[in-house]
Structure 1
Amino acid sequence: MAAITPIVMPKWGLSMKEGTVNEWLVEEGAEITVGMPILDVETDKIANAVEAPDAGLLRRKVASPGDTLPVKALLGVLAPADASDAEIDEYVSSYVTPVEDEEEGEAASAYHFVDIDGIRVRYAARGDVDGSGASRPAVLFIHGFGGDLDNWLFNLDALADDNRVFALDLPGHGQSTPRIPGTTLPELATFVARFMDAVNIDRAHVVGHSMGGGIAAQLAVQAPQRVRSVALISPAGFGDEINNAYTQGFVSAQSRRELKSVVELLFADPGLVSRQMLDDLLKYKRLDGVSEALTSLGSTLFGNGRQSAQPGRELASTGKPVLVIWGAQDRIIPSAHAGNASEAATVRVFDDAGHMSQMEKANEVNGLLKEHVGRAG
């Protein structure tokens, strides 16, 4: 029988159990290359393109638009031209969706909680964090204002093959205690260093988004011995301007309708904002203490639409390898701030992305991160 390769429903993030096919982006008979977007899938978090993990000829679309299928379900088939229709029919009819027998154990091992100075912090850990890979480099992801570790759901696994990967919910965010240890970047960076102590990370490649980018840059400046390299996505800390209509609007929004117009500012394509995403954010915002924590952070860091600290401009003095990624359509922090990165930094601006390049351009961002981390060592 000719070699047949399945295209299956991906697993984006630990909580994903199923996805809905929105549309196919290629036709049967198309020659597929690795990384090519081949169909659009929507989860309860976000819609995104499924990128081909293998190359080959698309011989059969199995799933249709509107189909909701479990993770690893068969979506399509790649096979050479000499594979007969009967062989493909047999493969499709005999395909059994693998059962994730260890799903609960996987989630339990990947989501953890640790207490730091009375603040309970949720974090994700990927890669061999406890076993023989303990000597591998650590990569620490730090999300932005109002976000959580799920902002990295397309990125963590991509770095976990060669590294120990961690992502935390900052205090006042996600499932961490809705109380903050301070409102300045130095205070938040100090807390992140305390988190690193708690999970036995001596030094890390730090990856930060937005406010988390400012924290990552500040950590490198004030504790360079803890940082191997810095990768920043639409980071705070490289210029004065910031759209505080977003930060203030995020805090004040009380309904799905009010929040929708605010969250859409994050993406070049507002269609990526799903109803479930808005419901999850509203649920988080209604937790006791969250509004107060976000209000304090927003007013200190971004009051009157001005950034109060510029650690990104000081990164050259640390001697750390720096990667800066931006979306040209960023409506929160201007992509022009990328021009304030040092000459030694690697800078990439995506024309067709907004504030969330790690989601909107996940494959490209992951490639840049892997190259950056591998080169930094």
Structure 2
Amino acid sequence: MSPATDRHPKVRVLGQDLRVAVRPGTEPGPPLLLCNGIGASLDVLQPFVDAVDRRIEVVRFDVPGVGGSPAPPAPYSFPMLAALVRRMMAALGHDRYDVLGISWGGGLAQQIAVQQPRRCRRLVLAATGTGSLMVPARPSVLRKMVTPRRYRDPEFARENAAELYGGSLREDPELVGRLLNAPERLGSSRGYLYQLLAGAGWSSLPALPLIRQPTLILAGSDDPIIPLVNARIMAALLPRATLHVYDDGHLGLITRAADLGPLVSEFLLAD
């Protein structure tokens, strides 16, 4: 098997089946664990994975109830999911790793950094904020975020791409269909609800000064879901943070993967 070929193991931890994709790296070192946004399967981040330096192993997974991971019988919290992720990474043979989280997954990434300070080496936060204590999006954007319809209804996704995602999707709303609306990327409505519940009332804001890992913050200049001011607040409170603002919207990690993949790689490979 070529080092560039993804492996797709099924991992069972704490009674939960998880769909996982692993792109082996060409050199030893901590892998990069990717935590995706709400309702998004691991497939969505493929353009970014392709742009990450081949020396770095990349691990992706579908959270319970999304993509190929069945929904659990009951809701979960971010601390519970962080514990599940630790077991998953241990099952894959990793006791130390870097973590990148985008949007909702950025909340999980921050929880992992706090909860697993000896396992999480470096942290990348993309298009994300601090949870319930943050500068929110406009009410019209929030109303459309509480439903998985943007994943299930391509016409709805196209009509609202500009308002929801900003950036390059303002000029090319058709792109959202290619990025988000493939049938194999859908999860259950219950899974989406559980993700919403996991973030309800959760905030990383009081814990940010305790996150000692080197942190790269990636934020779009035109992100309707996570206004840019949130990234600036996080950069001010995180002790070892670097802020990079890119000229795009909420999905910039994908639409600008050719630029951001090498940037993240450089950050992870630095001595």
Calculate the TM-score normalised by the size of structure 1: 0.61
Match of 2:90 in 1: 197
1:346 aligns with 2:242: yes
CA–CA distance in structure 2, aligned partners of residues 252 and 367 of structure 1: 29
Match of 2:7 in 1: 110
> Relative contact order (C-alpha < 8 Å, sep 6+): which is higher?
2
CA–CA distance in structure 2, aligned partners of residues 181 and 230 of structure 1: 29
Give the structure with the higher percent strand: 1
Measured after TM superposition, the shift of residue 251 of structure 1 is 4.6
Report Cα offsets for 1:323-365 as digits up to 9, x if no partner. Answer: 0001121111111101112443110112x31111111221221
Q: In percent, how many aligned pairs have the same letter?
A: 25
Match of 1:151 in 2: 44
CA–CA distance in structure 1, aligned partners of residues 185 and 24 of structure 2: 28
Given the alignment, which residue of 339, 363, 366 partners 2:261? 366
Measured after TM superposition, the shift of residue 266 of structure 1 is 2.5
CA–CA distance in structure 1, aligned partners of residues 260 and 205 of structure 2: 20
Within a 5 Å distance, the mapping from 1:248-263 to structure 2 comes to 248-251=146-149, 255-263=153-161
8 Å Cα contact 1:231/1:322 also seen in 2: yes
Report Cα offsets for 1:210-243 as digits up to 9, x if no partner. Answer: 1111101110011111100100101132642244
Instruction: Give the secondary structure class of the aligned counterpart of 1:206.
Output: strand
CA–CA distance in structure 2, aligned partners of residues 349 and 106 of structure 1: 29
Report Cα offsets for 1:192-221 as digits up to 9, x if no partner. Answer: 112111211111110110111110111001
Given the alignment, which residue of 357, 360, 363 partners 2:252? 357
Measured after TM superposition, the shift of residue 299 of structure 1 is 4.2
Q: Which has the larger radius of gyration?
A: 1
Match of 1:13 in 2: none
CA–CA distance in structure 2, aligned partners of residues 357 and 277 of structure 1: 12
8 Å Cα contact 2:219/2:245 also seen in 1: yes
Measured after TM superposition, the shift of residue 163 of structure 1 is 1.9
The letter of the residue matching 1:260 is R
Q: Which runs of 5+ in 2 are unaligned?
A: none
Within a 5 Å distance, the mapping from 1:97-246 to structure 2 comes to 110-128=7-25, 133=27, 135-179=28-72, 182-237=75-130, 239-240=133-134, 241-242=136-137, 243-246=141-144
CA–CA distance in structure 2, aligned partners of residues 199 and 280 of structure 1: 27
CA–CA distance in structure 2, aligned partners of residues 235 and 212 of structure 1: 8
For the structure 1 residues 236 and 251, does the alpha-carbon distance in structure 2 shift closer, same or farther, using more than 3 Å as the test? farther
Give the superposed CA RMSD. 2.8
CA–CA distance in structure 2, aligned partners of residues 246 and 191 of structure 1: 29
The letter of the residue matching 1:301 is G
The letter of the residue matching 1:257 is E
CA–CA distance in structure 2, aligned partners of residues 300 and 259 of structure 1: 24
Q: Which runs of 5+ in 1 are unaligned?
A: 1-101, 303-307
CA–CA distance in structure 1, aligned partners of residues 189 and 251 of structure 2: 23
Match of 1:273 in 2: 175
Match of 1:293 in 2: 191
The letter of the residue matching 1:298 is L
Count of residues in correspondence between the two structures: 259
CA–CA distance in structure 2, aligned partners of residues 201 and 227 of structure 1: 11
8 Å Cα contact 1:327/1:354 also seen in 2: yes
Give the structure with the higher percent helix: 2
For the structure 1 residues 115 and 222, does the alpha-carbon distance in structure 2 shift closer, same or farther, using more than 3 Å as the test? same
Deviates more, 1:217-226 or 1:242-251: 242-251
Measured after TM superposition, the shift of residue 182 of structure 1 is 3.9
